[in-house]
Amino acid sequence: MNQTEDKPPFFSKWQTIYLIVFGNLILMIVLMYFFSKAFV
């Protein structure tokens, strides 16, 4: 395996992984928002 090899270990494209990570951030903001509201 050479150093510039760039195939992601999951899925076929990095864009898919980036999209999942970004979606996870949105999900965390939403969850923490509801968490804040749930115990007021």
Partner 1 sequence: MNSLDIFILFGTLFAIVAYGVWKTRNSKGIEGYLRGDGTMKWGAIGLSVMATQASAITFISTPGQAYESGMGFVQNYLGLPIALLIVSAVFIPIFYKLKVYTAYEFLESRFDLKTRLLGAFLFLLQRGLAAGITIYAPAIIISTILKWDLTLTILLVGVLVIIYTYSGGTKAVSLTQKHQMAVILIGMLSAFGIMLYYMAEYVTFGEALTIAGSLGKLEAIDFDFSPEKRYTVWTGLTGGLFLALSYFGTDQSQVQRYIGGKNVSESRMGLMFNAVLKIPMQFFILLVGVMLYVFYIFYTPPLHFNEQSVILVENSDQAAVIREIEADHQTLVKKREELALAIPKYNAEFEGSFLNTVHKGRLQYYDNKIRSARLSFKEVLESQNPGVNVKDSDYVFLTFILNYLPHGLIGLLIAVIFSAAMSSTSSEINSLASTIAIDFYKRVIKKEGTDEHYLKVSKMLTLGWGVIAIIFAIIANSAENLIEAVNIIGSIFYGTILGIFLVAFFFRRVNGSSVFFGALIAESLVITCHFLNEMEYIDLGYLWYNAIGLLATILISMILQLFMKRTA
Contact set with partner 1 (CB under 8 A): 1-9, 14, 17-18, 21-22, 24-25, 28-29, 32-33, 35-36, 38-40
* Closest distance to partner 1 from the beta carbon of 3 (Å): 5
CA 3 to chain CA centroid, Å, is 25
Cβ 14 to partner 1, closest distance in Å? Answer: 7
Asked if 10 contacts 18 with a C-beta cutoff of 8 angstroms, the reply is no
Smallest gap, in angstroms, from Cβ of residue 29 to partner 1? 6
End-to-end CA distance of the chain: 53
